[in-house]
């Protein structure tokens, strides 16, 4: 059948050796899975750290077995010191933001499915792709190494604000070698992300199948493409900031360290630097980073909602424009992280207006997601549940952003648990729900087996209810003025809040434990799950036209031709309730 | 972005267009087969150029960040000390501009089919590139001799950061040029793709322009 095709078929086969095939592979699918597994390891490290923090907050004297082996200084007899709490916090944030939220949805799923969804055989630059992964992996190793040095990981938080992050060991445990390693890790991560972004952009622009115009791209591809642009532009700035910070620490420069600074009773021999300069550079990266984490989740959610509502996505173009607008605006709002930095009220006003403006495209997206669901013949599969959960969390987390985006309100809320609740819901958990949705949705394609649906639904309900139970009460803590990053509740005004903290901690333990269901389901289904058909979800995009799992060269040397949009569900007059993107015969009937 | 023009929107139109995607650079696909017997995966030259332009976008952002840091750091403090720039920087600038010229001469020779000329001008470019880097080191030594080091004052910090960041990127360009030069004969004889030549040329000229920019920043803000 395929041999009769007029075009020359040029099949490519996988290298045979284990190392070239699975370790230093040039295959985008293997690299995608490598990224995914890296994120999986990271997310469980990050989760464990947060469990330890929740434990310490409500039972500060609790002794954690084996923790004193890992860090005799940070946790003598297994009891976490306040400084070690900050170390855990730093590593939790860094792990989650960089190695989970940036890695899994973009580099993981993007690598695996972008080439397939656009009908390409691989990413544009496979060697660069492999390099990106291994640089990311070394960044991970450098970061994890901070656990095993004398005074533990840095305590500067994932934002690593100077001057304390710039003055070395005087600023506390982990701020000597640990902080250097942190910067090196992040710098490596920046380089890897930029290399990856170049690959994504070139692939999307140049390797699309015939007939696949930009406006026929699945929204997942649009989100990966836009995310890559954001990453390319923003990680470069973080890299520059990291270089300057490292020079302040090891080169004696004063980019960020002001004059006359006294740390631990000693004058720091620097002059004239500006700690705010770091904040500007950092948040110029940091805010787009939020969208780097969430945009792929938006893409996956749109994709899955349409597929399981058996309806075309509501307002495809509006979705594309909204995502683009979010990307552009994301570069104009970094100042809203710095309202309390003493910035001019006029600047704050401008940043505030621009921040509010992001509400418009966000509302368009939410409106369209709901519009997609209305009147649909909804199939409540596990990926669909997580996609709907994404919408829910996106709305909940987004609404608190409207509070925080206003300078007078933010003056009060800044650095309280309200902020914690906001960004965990929208950036953390919503993006994680995007990852879960993508995992349940694409697992059959990636591994050729179905994940267990019952376990998936149990996992969903525990997680969905759990994250609300964890993060909703944090709004209340914030309203009460509870500051972030406190390791124990010893102030009088905080003591009455201990019961709220207990509730949150117990909810966190249960929700964290429920993730083991996911882990079990994932690993078990890889080997024991029911065999997956080529198109188990009756979806329309190109990855479902090829075997599960796909062959090494994806389309077996053929070049798919695209006739239809990505979300042709329930087209009147069509034989089935979905039309594949490369299905030629229905073009006349459908349009 | 003119991306919509890159891929035809309608299959009917696409059918009429010759698939320029295969064998960029005018070489028959047979030339790209690897030694292992399997056809090697290749994308069109156009894609490599596109990738290079986006890589350069990232580099622009890196230097934009350094520049904005310089502007802010200078504007927000009272300890700024101007660094009087070593005179050799003008000579270095001339050397780098000359290297862009020789690179273009080498590409012209390649188009004219003259393998020896191609290699000769390419080598000249490598030598000029190394000459520029050597000249930058001389500039650093001159500042050091004056007692101006990285941490001496904020101006000198930025001088070293900007010149080092540019120098490292240019060093990458020299390595790429040396790689191209090592394959010059095969490229000229059509046994290897010309893609590395074109992509390296984009990078090299851009590094040239970037130096002009960095030099301009140093001259006007120091």
What pLDDT is stored for residue B39 in this prediction? 53
CB contacts < 8 Å between A and B, how many? 152
* Mean pLDDT computed over A114-137: 97
What pLDDT is stored for residue B9 in this prediction? 37
For B130, the domain range is 45-221
Residue A517 lies in a domain: no
How many domains would you assign to chain B?
Answer: 1
- What residues pair up with A561 in beta bridges, in sequence order? A210
Residue B163 lies in a domain: yes
Cβ pair A62, A54 in contact under 8 A? no
Give the tens place of pLDDT for each residue, A212-229: 999 999 999 999 999 999
Residue B15 lies in a domain: no
Residue A43 lies in a domain: yes
Helix (H, G, I), strand (E, B) or coil at A578: strand
How many domains would you assign to chain A?
Answer: 1
Residue A363 is classified by DSSP as H
- Token representation of residue A52: 């330890």
CATH number at residue B50: 1.20.120.80
Q: Does B72 touch chain A (CB under 8 A)?
A: yes
Q: DSSP secondary structure string, A527-546? A: HHSPBP-SSTT---SGGGGS
CA atoms of A154 and A172, how far apart (whole Å): 8
For residue B10, give the nearest of A121, A211, A277 by CB distance. A211
Residue B20 has pLDDT above 50, yes or no: no
* Mean pLDDT computed over A147-153: 91
- With an 8 Å Cβ cutoff, are B154 and A237 in contact? no
* pLDDT above 70: percentage of residues in chain A: 97
What pLDDT is stored for residue B22 in this prediction? 37
Give the tens place of pLDDT for each residue, A74-96: 999 999 999 999 999 999 999 99
Residue B194 lies in a domain: yes
Residue B140 lies in a domain: yes
Burial class (CB in 10 A: 0-12, 13-18, 19+), A267: exposed
* pLDDT above 90: percentage of residues in chain B: 70
Residue A240 has pLDDT above 60, yes or no: yes
Residues 6+ apart with CB under 8 A from A353: none
Would you say the C-alpha torsion A568, A369, A511, A67 has a positive or negative sign?
Answer: positive
For A172, the domain range is 29-215+222-259
- With an 8 Å Cβ cutoff, are B39 and A10 in contact? yes
Residue B50 lies in a domain: yes
Residue A576 lies in a domain: no
CA atoms of A474 and A482, how far apart (whole Å): 9
Residue A408 has pLDDT above 80, yes or no: yes
CA atoms of A383 and A518, how far apart (whole Å): 13
Residue A283 lies in a domain: no
Residue B102 lies in a domain: yes
- Token representation of residue B29: 């696909």
- With an 8 Å Cβ cutoff, are B51 and A198 in contact? yes
What pLDDT is stored for residue A579 in this prediction? 94
* pLDDT above 90: percentage of residues in chain A: 90
What pLDDT is stored for residue A557 in this prediction? 87
- With an 8 Å Cβ cutoff, are A254 and B47 in contact? no
For residue A124, give the nearest of B43, B58, B80 by CB distance. B43
Residue A483 lies in a domain: no
Give the tens place of pLDDT for each residue, A473-526: 999 999 999 999 999 988 888 999 999 999 999 999 999 999 999 999 999 999
Burial class (CB in 10 A: 0-12, 13-18, 19+), B9: middle
Torsion angle defined by CA atoms of residues A555, A561, A562 and A568, in that order, rounded to the nearest 10 degrees:
-60
- ipTM, 2 dp: 0.94
CA atoms of B127 and B174, how far apart (whole Å): 9
Of the candidate ranges A104-108, A115-119, B190-194, the one whose mean pLDDT is the lowest: B190-194
Residue A275 lies in a domain: no
- Token representation of residue A28: 């985008």
What pLDDT is stored for residue B190 in this prediction? 85
* Mean pLDDT computed over B104-108: 96
Residue B219 has pLDDT above 90, yes or no: yes
Cβ pair A54, A504 in contact under 8 A? yes
Residue B101 lies in a domain: yes
Residues of A in contact with B57 (CB under 8 A): 232-233
- With an 8 Å Cβ cutoff, are A232 and B78 in contact? no
- Token representation of residue A38: 């890296």
B183 closest CA partner among B197, B202, B170: B197
CATH number at residue A132: 1.20.210.10
pLDDT band at A527 (very low <50, low <70, confident <90, very high): very high
Residues 6+ apart with CB under 8 A from B147: none
What pLDDT is stored for residue B14 in this prediction? 37
Give the tens place of pLDDT for each residue, B32-73: 333 333 456 888 889 999 999 999 999 999 999 999 999 999
Cβ pair A291, A398 in contact under 8 A? no
What pLDDT is stored for residue A586 in this prediction? 55
- With an 8 Å Cβ cutoff, are B69 and A235 in contact? no
* Mean pLDDT computed over B101-124: 95
Residues 6+ apart with CB under 8 A from A421: A400, A471, A472, A474, A475, A477, A478
What pLDDT is stored for residue A150 in this prediction? 86
Residue B7 lies in a domain: no
- With an 8 Å Cβ cutoff, are B62 and A124 in contact? no
From chain B residues 38-67, the ones with a CB under 8 A of any chain A CB are 38-41, 43-44, 46-48, 50-51, 54-55, 57-66
Residues 6+ apart with CB under 8 A from A409: A403
With vertex at residue A230, the alpha carbon angle to CA A228 and CA A232, rounded to the nearest 5 degrees, is 65
Residue A178 has pLDDT above 90, yes or no: yes
Residue A353 lies in a domain: no
Q: Does B202 touch chain A (CB under 8 A)?
A: no
Residue A162 lies in a domain: yes
What pLDDT is stored for residue B8 in this prediction? 37
């Amino acid at each position: 059948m395929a041999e009769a095709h007029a075009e020359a078929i040029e099949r490519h086969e996988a290298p045979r050796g284990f190392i070239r095939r699975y370790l230093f592979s040039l295959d985008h699918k293997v690299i995608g899975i490598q990224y995914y597994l890296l994120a999986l390891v990271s997310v469980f490290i990050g989760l464990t750290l947060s469990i330890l923090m929740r434990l310490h907050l409500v039972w500060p004297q609790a002794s954690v077995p084996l923790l004193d082996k890992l860090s005799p200084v940070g946790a003598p007899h297994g009891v976490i010191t306040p400084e070690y709490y900050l170390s855990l916090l730093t590593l939790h944030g860094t792990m989650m933001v960089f190695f989970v939220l940036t890695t899994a949805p973009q580099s993981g799923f993007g690598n695996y499915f972008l080439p397939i969804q656009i009908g390409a055989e691989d990413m544009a630059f496979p060697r660069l792709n492999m390099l990106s992964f291994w640089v990311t992996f070394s960044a991970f190793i450098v970061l994890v190494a901070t656990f095993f040095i004398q005074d533990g990981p840095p305590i500067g938080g994932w934002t690593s604000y100077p001057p304390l992050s710039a003055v070395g060991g005087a600023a506390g445990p982990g701020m000597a070698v640990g902080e250097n390693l942190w910067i090196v890790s992040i710098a490596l991560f920046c380089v890897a992300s930029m290399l990856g972004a170049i690959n994504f952009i070139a692939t999307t622009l140049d390797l699309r199948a015939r007939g696949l115009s930009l406006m026929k791209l699945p929204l997942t591809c649009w989100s990966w493409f836009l995310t890559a642009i954001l990453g390319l532009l923003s990680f470069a700035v973080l890299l520059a900031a990291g270089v300057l910070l490292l020079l302040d620490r090891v080169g004696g420069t004063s980019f960020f360290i002001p004059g006359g600074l006294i740390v631990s009773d000693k004058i720091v021999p620097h002059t004239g630097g500006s700690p705010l300069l770091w904040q500007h550079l950092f948040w110029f990266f940091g805010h787009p980073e939020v969208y780097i984490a969430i945009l792929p989740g938006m893409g996956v959610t749109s994709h899955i909602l349409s597929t399981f509502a058996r309806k075309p996505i509501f307002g495809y173009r509006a979705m594309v424009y909204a995502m683009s607008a979010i990307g552009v605006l994301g570069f104009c709002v970094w100042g809203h992280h710095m309202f309390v930095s003493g910035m001019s009220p006029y600047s704050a006003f401008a940043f505030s207006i621009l921040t509010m403006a992001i509400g418009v495209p966000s509302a368009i997206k939410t409106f369209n997601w709901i519009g997609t669901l209305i009147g649909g013949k909804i199939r409540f599969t596990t990926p669909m549940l997580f996609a709907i959960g994404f919408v829910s969390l996106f709305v909940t987390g987004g609404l608190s952003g409207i509070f925080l985006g206003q300078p007078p309100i933010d003056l009060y809320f800044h650095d309280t648990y309200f902020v914690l609740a906001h960004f965990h819901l929208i950036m953390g958990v919503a993006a994680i729900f995007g990852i879960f949705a993508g995992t349940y949705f694409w697992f059959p394609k990636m591994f050729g087996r179905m994940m267990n649906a019952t376990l998936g639904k149990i996992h969903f309900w525990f997680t969905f209810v759990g994250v609300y139970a964890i993060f909703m009460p944090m709004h209340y803590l914030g309203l009460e003025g509870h500051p972030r990053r406190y390791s124990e509740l010893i102030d009088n005004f905080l003591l009455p809040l201990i019961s709220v903290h207990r509730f949150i901690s117990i909810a966190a333990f249960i929700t964290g434990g429920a993730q083991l269901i996911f882990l079990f389901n994932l690993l078990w289904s890889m080997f024991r799950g029911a065999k997956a058909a080529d198109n188990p979800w009756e979806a329309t995009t190109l990855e479902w036209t090829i075997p599960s799992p796909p062959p090494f060269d994806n389309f077996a040397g053929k070049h798919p031709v695209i006739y239809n949009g990505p979300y042709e569900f329930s087209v009147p007059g069509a034989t089935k309730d979905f039309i594949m993107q490369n299905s030629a015969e229905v073009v006349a009937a459908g349009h | 972005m003119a991306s919509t023009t890159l891929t035809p929107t309608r299959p009917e139109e696409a059918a009429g267009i010759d698939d320029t995607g295969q064998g960029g650079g005018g070489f028959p696909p047979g030339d790209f087969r690897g030694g292992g017997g399997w056809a090697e995966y290749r994308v069109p030259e156009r894609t490599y150029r596109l990738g290079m332009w986006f890589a350069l976008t990232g580099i622009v952002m890196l230097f934009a960040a350094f520049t904005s840091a310089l502007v802010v750091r200078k504007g927000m403090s009272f300890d700024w000390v101007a660094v009087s720039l070593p005179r050799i920087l003008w000579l270095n600038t001339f050397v780098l501009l000359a290297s862009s010229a020789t690179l273009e001469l080498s590409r012209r020779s390649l188009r004219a089919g003259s393998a020896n000329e191609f290699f000769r001008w390419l080598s000249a470019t490598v030598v000029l590139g190394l000459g520029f880097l050597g000249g930058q080191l001389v500039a650093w030594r001159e500042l050091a001799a004056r007692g101006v080091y990285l941490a001496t004052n904020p101006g000198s910090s930025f001088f070293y950061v900007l010149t080092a960041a540019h120098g490292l990127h240019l060093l990458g360009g020299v390595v790429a040029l040396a790689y191209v030069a090592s394959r010059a004969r095969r490229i000229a004889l059509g046994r290897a793709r010309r893609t590395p030549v074109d992509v390296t040329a984009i990078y090299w000229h851009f590094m040239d322009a970037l130096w002009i920019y960095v030099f301009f920043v140093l001259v006007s803000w120091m």
